Structure 1
Amino acid sequence: MTEQATLHTRLEMIDTLVARLDHLADEEVRDTATELVQLVMELHRTGLERLLKIVTQQIATSEGAILRLAEDQLVAGLLLLHELHPVDLVTRVGRALEQVRPYLKSHGGNVELLEIDEGLVRLQLQGSCHGCPSSAMTLKMAIEEAISEHAPDVLGLEVEGVVPASLPGFIPLESFEHAADAASAMQWEEIAGLHDLADGEVDTRDLHDQSVLFLRLNTGLYAYQNGCSHCGNSLKTGTLSGSVLSCPDCGTQFDVMRAGRCLDLPALHLEPLPLLQSGGKTRIALAVSP
């Protein structure tokens, strides 16, 4: 059978199956199945339309067009669905880690890829957030989001940090468990206008009924829950000297480049929020009430 004949046969089969939906006795099942087919068709149509637009813009360089297609999330999803993605998993995971490294390093952290085995990615998280579970979870969430964006076909992710005592900068894996419940209630959303924040400037925004503190230091952008961990008051009018933010009410000092560690009382720290920047867009993970 020729390719054209095969296509014609499959189109006829689709028409037959869709027609059967109209004759299903159970109305709820019929409506659910019809909605499912419509959603799948809309997804494919949107993805293919975007694919054609990208190819048209990049027609002069076919290799560039293929790579550009792989960068589009919707098209990439379709390619992965049909096992047609042109970039291997190891490369895509590596790109995800490169995207998130500036954020990790801005908090004194880093991440190392240990191995990828049958879709399971094993990482080792390094940093200066040792002993601070919420800070460790913040970095872990940023890594997970970057990988889910670049490599949604990853089957599992393990972040390790149990290392010999001679390497105290690593974060123990057990510290993540205490903050996992809070992280599960968070969702990512895009935040506009933060590029206007000047170096050394502090500002706040009310997002989902919570106050978020934003700071820009050199080229790094930071986000924390707006509240001094000592007195509980707003830090919007706090003084930023180098990387140290001082509470305007009680004077307690926090290092914003080290996940908000308190310089006066080691047991205290600000609550950092995961922040990712790519393609001119900034996304933040926020706790959202059900």
Structure 2
Amino acid sequence: MSAEETARRVEAVLDRLAAHDDPDVPAAAEELVRDLMEFYGTGLGRLLTLVSTADGTPPPALLDDACVAGLLVLHGLHPEDAPTRIARALRTAGAADAVVEEFDASTGALRLRREGGGCGGTADATRQRIADALACHAPEVTGVDLRQAAPAPPLLQIGTRPPEPVPAGAAPDGRTAAP
């Protein structure tokens, strides 16, 4: 189950509890979620410390795993900054050729330019793969604008034509010589 799907399910349960007649029920549910989050966050932090190398760097396999990365981000434990996690998400989604043009941290808007061509169906599938990877690796990205780069203009060859063979009996400029 992805971090995004889990968040939706927890939110749905909390919404159902909020509709309960007893106002203490939703408050208790939210307190339970906060306590569990704190407990799991503390445990993840300790685990991260135990598996990290001497310089404090976690193994790359942990940061590449979408579920683990999502948990680390959720608990504020991910060692990478947002631009690094965005780049990791693009690699994970198979869109390493996408170039980040702008990321607005205040709104969560990410504008990408994708080099190379592709049909509309491919662009839609790529956009979805990118959105899925970002949901785990960089959930602060709330919107993605993926643009295809303009195709390169065709190359124009500037030069002279190869000389055409001069017919027999013709002058060197190609005119027929007078008899």
TM-score by length of 2: 0.57
Give the conservation status (yes or no) of the 8 Å contact 2:69–2:136: no
3-state DSSP class of the match of 2:93?
helix
Match of 2:91 in 1: 98
Residues 104-137 of structure 1: CA deviation (Å, up to 9, x unaligned): 58xxxx422222233421102345432xx33321
Structure 2: runs of 5 or more not aligned: 1-19, 155-179
The aligned residue for residue 29 of structure 2 is 35
Specify which of 72, 75, 78 is matched with residue 78 of structure 1: 75
Provide the rounded CA distance (Å) in 2 between the counterparts of 1:158 and 1:68. 28
1:55 equivalent in alignment to 2:42: no
Shift in CA distance, 166/29, structure 1 to aligned 2, threshold 3 Å? farther
Write out aligned runs for 1:128-139 (5 A): 128-130=117-119, 133-139=120-126
Aligned residues: 129
* Separation in structure 1 between the aligned mates of residue 80 and residue 24 of structure 2, nearest angstrom: 39
Task: Kindly report which structure 2 residues correspond to 1:104-253, keeping only aligned pairs within 5 A, or say none.
Answer: 104=95, 110-118=97-105, 119-130=108-119, 133-161=120-148, 163=150, 166=153
Equivalent pair of 1:67/1:86 in contact (CA under 8 Å): no
Letter in 1 for 2:32: Q
Q: Which has the higher contact order (CA 8 A, sep 6+)?
A: 2
In 1: Cα distance, 2:149 partner to 2:58 partner: 42
DSSP 3-state at the match of 1:48: helix
Aligned to 1:175: none
Distance change in 2, residues 1:69/1:62 (3 Å): farther
| CA distance in 2 between partners of 1:142 and 1:128 (Å) | 17
Structure 1: state its 5+ residue gaps. Answer: 1-25, 168-290
Of Structure 1 and Structure 2, the greater strand share is in 1
Q: Could you list the per-position Cα deviations for residues 144-186 of structure 1 after superposition, in whole angstroms to 9, with x for gaps in the alignment?
A: 111221111124321122636738xxxxxxxxxxxxxxxxxxx
Structure (1 or 2) with the greater helix fraction: 2
TM normalised by structure 1 equals 0.38
Residues 182-234 of structure 1: CA distance to partner in whole angstroms, max 9, x if unpaired? xxxxxxxxxxxxxxxxxxxxxxxxxxxxxxxxxxxxxxxxxxxxxxxxxxxxx
CA distance in 1, matches of 2:27, 2:139: 26
Identity %: 22
> After the TM superposition, which residues 7-46 of structure 1 pair with which residues of structure 2 at under 5 Å, given as runs?
27-46=21-40
CA-based RMSD: 3.2
